[in-house]
Amino acid sequence: MLYKNKGTLTVLLLLMAALSAEGQKTRHYNLVRLFRENKLESAPNVETHVLGAAGKQAITTTGVLWLKGVTFKEGTIDVDLRGKNVFLKSFLGIAFHGKDTSTYDIVYFRPFRFHHAYLPTRKWSVQYMSMPDFDYDKLRKSYPGVYENDINPAPAATAWFHATLVISRDSVLVYVNHAATPSLKVKKLNEMTGGKIGLWSSTGALSGDFADLTITEK
């Protein structure tokens, strides 16, 4: 069908965009406020503190820190993160589709790998795992180079960087600092379609810093 009236076509396009947006729900989270209002839950050994980051409402934490009463199925997760350039001591990311502190999917980063001179090792910069059945060691041995990759261009190891996770029923895409090309694109390793969402920093390692969390769910 051809529309001779440009005004009618414009109205139709706007209507289609509005109908598409109706199926999505965007939520912005002030992590400092959630922490102070006791709306973040964790295991007893998890330590969380407010950061004095200029221009950011940021917290630092270890372990898994779930958002109370918040679940996630499919959509986009945006967050700012900052790790540390300390070898084998800085691992941080986002856990999703969680059942508890041992069963969840996760995308996480190893900042100390971001600029490693050896390419095969640098390709361990960003990782997808599905716990507890598919940890990094099993994935690296069974599917080398599939569930982890490097970041190009890579942020500084100690700098804040932005991560965008696009989660669908069967795939996970990870974009860093609004890049047009994903740093990681993988198939999900399970059939979990929803669950808890949280901030993740490896237990026993250095804390990870988080700010500006936004969730857009389909």
Whether residue 61 lies inside any domain: the answer is: yes
**pLDDT value at residue 45:** 86
Contact criterion met (CB below 8 Å) for 130 and 190: yes
Name the pTM for this structure: 0.88
* DSSP calls for 14-68: HHHHHHHHHT-EEEEE-HHHHHHTT-EEE-TT--EEE---TT--EEEE-EEEEEE
At 14-55, the pLDDT tens digits run: 544 544 445 679 999 999 999 999 999 998 889 999 998 778
What is the average per-residue pLDDT within 74-102? 97
CATH code of the domain covering residue 89 = 2.60.120.560
**pLDDT value at residue 204:** 86
Half-sphere exposure of residue 77, counting CA atoms within 13 Å on the CB side?
Answer: 27
Pairing verdict, β 171-176 and 161-167: antiparallel
Whether residue 6 lies inside any domain: the answer is: no
Whether residue 107 lies inside any domain: the answer is: yes
**pLDDT value at residue 216:** 98
**pLDDT value at residue 26:** 96
At 93-126, the pLDDT tens digits run: 999 999 999 999 999 999 999 999 999 999 999 9
Whether residue 56 lies inside any domain: the answer is: yes
Q: What is the largest CA-CA distance in the chain?
A: 66
At 148-186, the pLDDT tens digits run: 999 999 999 999 999 999 999 999 999 999 999 999 999
Please count the other Cβ atoms lying within 10 Å of the Cβ belonging to residue 180. Answer: 5
**pLDDT value at residue 7:** 55
Interior angle at CA 144, CA 104 and CA 172, nearest 5: 40
**Pairwise CA distance, residues 3 & 29, whole Å:** 43
Structural domain span for residue 187: 25-217
What is the average per-residue pLDDT within 41-70? 91
**pLDDT value at residue 89:** 97
Distances (CA, A) of 140 to 87, 93, 95, 128, 158: 19, 18, 19, 11, 25
**pLDDT value at residue 2:** 43
**Token pair belonging to 185:** 């694109």
Phi-psi region of 14 (alpha: psi -120 to 50; beta: other; left: phi over 0): alpha
Whether residue 39 lies inside any domain: the answer is: yes
Whether residue 7 lies inside any domain: the answer is: no
**pLDDT value at residue 4:** 52
**Pairwise CA distance, residues 202 & 76, whole Å:** 23
Residue 3: pLDDT band (50, 70, 90) is very low
Tally of domains in the chain: 1
**Pairwise CA distance, residues 202 & 64, whole Å:** 8
For residue 159, the cross-strand partners are none
